[in-house]
Structure 1
Amino acid sequence: MTATGTSTPSPALLPPYLNEWVARQRWFASKGSVPALASIGEWSLPTPDAGVRIRTLLVYDTRADDSSAGAASTLYQLPLTERTIPLPGGDAALIYAAPIDAAGPGLARYLYDAPHDPAYAAALLSLMLRGGASPAADNDQADAAGESEAGTTAHDVTDSRVLRGEQSNTSIIYDVTDAAGRPATPIICKVFRALHPGENPDVAVQTALARAGSRLVPQPVGSVSGHWTGADPHTPDAQTVRGHLAFAQEFLPGVEDAWRTALTAAQAGTDFSTQARSLGAATADVHFDLARVMPSQDATATVRAATIAGMRDRYRAAVREVPQLAEHAASVDRIFDRAETANWPALQRIHGDYHLGQVLNVPGRGWALVDFEGEPLKPLNERVRPDVPLRDVAGMLRSFAYAASTIAMDFPDHDPAAIAHWAAECRTAFLEGYATASGHDLFAQSALLDAFELDKAVYETVYETRNRPTWLPIPLAAVRALCAAAEEAPPP
């Protein structure tokens, strides 16, 4: 199957109804404003459905300026289907219906958000399952090509639906059959809304792990990548860049993530140490495989200094928003000083945004790690950079603390001491599982782990101040505890 790319000699402004629709979408970055979108190009997909046209626009907001958090450089992917007759059951996905006198016989009158349209969903997955590429053309400004991963049994789509609740992307769930017409493993395809040049970490990391034989990640099905030019309105002569547009993998239906599993245990006062220990081991196994199949580098003095300098900068910036942090300045410096002179492991690819919500509890299979895109607020070049595995360890430790604090806040009649004990047991078990599976002495790296945990807690204070002020005491308590422990620790 071929995805056809078309050229746009100069950015074409989109009609007002599309601007107004995009402004209401959860994935649009400049909340509270209506954009003035311009298209730099588009790519299309063929479909056997009569009266249906599928095209995907690549657009940026010409109204965005330097005060809107870099929205001017954000390139959005806007998949659309145009239909001559209404899509049955598609009212919620309808973007625009042209007046009767504005469209002649046989012309499209109805415009839909394509992921909700079965015609688009089937065409997109077919591009990945069967492969395909847009024809080369010197003046094309956008094209797309699908790549399939060997081993998938999917053959035909029987149903598709959009996953609810996502913010930065749009995911389509597929029910599929194999070549013999029997039900096959369902598929989930993530359509990236904000596009970035280079490999998307979620695609690159999960694919590398699966090819290495790991069963601790969902198995990839395929991906779509594309190239485009002129994404930034301020650099119309920008070079052609390439990036990922969509990624499909096996879907694990009816499973809970580790966050929900842990919350259920914490609320009931049920021991969770066995699960936490196995999660620690699974995390270490994934780190081991990542070090095997993806680039790593030594933690030189320059790298160590730059990493700790970044932590200090984030702390100073956080103090401006969370003044309560200022009283810990001396202890924070002590923690970072100890970390810089500690024994560092090699830097490698990591998960990057690791917490209980990024792990699925799959019956009969165990833990499965998902969403390797990294911290979404970081630039892509930082998310793909080798890092210290202890950053992931620190993220999971903070997640256990959040699970316990959530129960303490939601159920004030629970014994606080019992909840704190539950969290401490989870923490110890996770570290034991990680240390046993990895062979690393985490006690010898405690100074470095403290720094990463402090860095994460400082980040959380800013997040909670901006989004959930009533939750601010949770990360503040973590900062206070880490700093108190630093005062009691012997000098390095």
Structure 2
Amino acid sequence: MPEAVIRTAPSPTALLASLDPLLRQWLPRRRWFAGKGRPITGLTPVAVTELPSPAPDSDGAPGALTGLYHLLVRVHQPPAPGSPERPGDCYQLVIGVREVPPTRPAPGLIGHVTRGPLAGHVVYDALDDPRPAGVLLEAVRCGARVGPLRFDRDPGHEIRTGLVPRRMTAEQSNSSVVYGDRLVLKVLRRIGPGTHPDLELPLALARAGCARVPAPVGWMTAELSGDSWLLGVLQPYVQGAVDGWELALRELSKGEDFAAEARALGRATAEVHTALARALPTVTLGHRAMARIADGMSGRLAEAVRTVPALLPYAPGLRSAFTALGDLAGQGRTWTAQRVHGDLHLGQCLRSPDGEWSLIDFEGEPDRPPEERRMPQPAVRDVAGMLRSFDYAARSADTPVPGWAETCRAAYCSGYARVAGHDPRTDPVLLRAFETDKAVYEVVYESRHRPDWLPVPLAAVRRLAAPGPARLMP
């Protein structure tokens, strides 16, 4: 990538002002936009960088790409009900500029600009366009420096040229581009400064020799005001792999048993936890530390009740899970805490064609503060997330299969125990507290992002708030 064509775009404020009215309409419709349901009151540039444009269209048709911009934009919104005032979220955008929209492929059209330096042009999400998406891979391959942007790669991995990009259609809280069915670039959407677990933990696991997590091939960062902001991670693409969510729903639709896969997933999770405990420091949580965790769970519940009033009837039962944990800590019980995945569910697991499971996406729950995501936690937090995921799958099936989630939960814990040496079910107070905290988080998340899914975590809330043995059923 020649340095001569790389330059920082002039007048970031004017450029963003040109895009402002379009982005206010376009951003809330993105799956990864966290501020749904609240008006956008302002947009401010954090960094605007002009990327080198790829070669012109081979057919020479009008409307060729006339600009390619990398934007870090802070979005200002009023806080959600019950939430404290805080700075707006910062989002990463890669925007292509054309005279007319391209026809191959259909882009994520943002709109026609009517004012400012881009007036008269069409702007769109450039990750949908193979040629601009290829610029990012080439920058990683060459170790480019583009204004504040830094593209780096592991020197032990070769990145071939000529890999054809294609955007993955299954979008979640980020966006992914696959290159030649060999590599996949995960582009983070909501970003912030500091060490990011989605690069930190896979690198640590690679050093520890853990094969359950794809080792990073390269990464994108921005250096701003002395801080490093992770923008994306490039990893090997497992061709023919299927994610655990898709596989579970497929087996459910056929009425097939999923216990063997759940057991294998439990073993894979325990292997990752064991490697993380070797690679990174662990701590012992005594009364005071555990009381803080239990109080934090109670605080999140109180905030969730304000956000989703449907939780109110179940609040006392849910709170009892956190009180029981605090009481157990007060009796002198201690627990080991370590770095964990932080948002483990079936969709974060890949099964390769040879039957091996891998864990991906280590960024943690996107709605949690970054510093909280990097704190050591009891490993059961990940276990609770996976148990909730089996429940989600069972309740999402077109034809319910009685006992499916219960069987998967038991098999997963048994597989975990076989590697870890202890069964998560032997600490029911800790497991219930973390599963309850996860279900409360899910209620808030679904209410903001996917209201149609809200009955799924609410069903778990009813179970977890129930007295006695009833809450142990999935």
- TM-score w.r.t. the length of structure 1 is 0.80
Change (3 A) 1:338 1:450: farther
Distance 2:411 2:353 in 1: 21
- Say if 2:132 is the partner of 1:132: no
Query: 1:439 is matched with which residue?
Result: 421
Distance 1:302 1:8 in 2: 52
Q: Which runs of 5+ in 2 are unaligned?
A: 57-64
- 1:133-167 deviations in whole A, cap 9, x for unaligned? 34xxxxxxx60111112443431134212222424
CA RMSD in angstroms, aligned pairs only = 3.3
**Which of 247-256 and 285-294 deviates more?**
247-256
Change (3 A) 1:170 1:331: closer
Query: 1:6 is matched with which residue?
Result: 8
| Aligned residues between the structures | 447
Query: 1:452 is matched with which residue?
Result: 434
Query: 2:203 is matched with which residue?
Result: 207
- 1:230-251 deviations in whole A, cap 9, x for unaligned? xxxxxxxxxx422111211112
The SS at the match of 1:157 is coil
- 1:258-305 deviations in whole A, cap 9, x for unaligned? 122223333444332222111111100000111122232222332111
Distance 1:4 1:71 in 2: 35
**Which of 439-448 and 362-371 deviates more?**
439-448
Structure 1 residue 191, shift from structure 2 partner: 1.8
Distance 1:368 1:470 in 2: 30
Distance 1:98 1:272 in 2: 51
Alignment of 1:34-183 (within 5 A): 36-47=42-53, 49-50=55-56, 52-61=66-75, 64-66=77-79, 72-83=87-98, 87=102, 89=104, 92-95=107-110, 109-134=121-146, 143-175=148-180
The SS at the match of 1:434 is helix
The SS at the match of 2:217 is strand
Distance 1:40 1:462 in 2: 29
Change (3 A) 1:263 1:151: same
Change (3 A) 1:28 1:4: farther
Q: Which runs of 5+ in 1 are unaligned?
A: 135-141, 176-184, 230-239
The SS at the match of 1:119 is helix
Is the 2:287–2:333 Cα contact (8 Å) retained in structure 1? Answer: no
Query: 2:354 is matched with which residue?
Result: 364
Distance 1:317 1:71 in 2: 16
Alignment of 1:227-266 (within 5 A): 227-229=223-225, 240-266=226-252
**Which of 391-400 and 335-344 deviates more?**
335-344
1:323 pairs with one of 312, 331, 340: 312
- Say if 2:413 is the partner of 1:419: no
Query: 1:178 is matched with which residue?
Result: none
Structure 1 residue 387, shift from structure 2 partner: 1.0
- Say if 2:171 is the partner of 1:197: no
Identity, in percent, stands at: 35
- Structure number with greater Rg is 1
Is the 1:297–1:348 Cα contact (8 Å) retained in structure 2? Answer: yes
Distance 2:252 2:22 in 1: 44
Change (3 A) 1:309 1:48: closer
Change (3 A) 1:212 1:267: same
- Say if 2:298 is the partner of 1:312: yes
Is the 2:197–2:374 Cα contact (8 Å) retained in structure 1? Answer: yes
Question: 2:135 is matched by which residue type in structure 1?
Answer: A
**Which of 71-80 and 460-469 deviates more?**
460-469
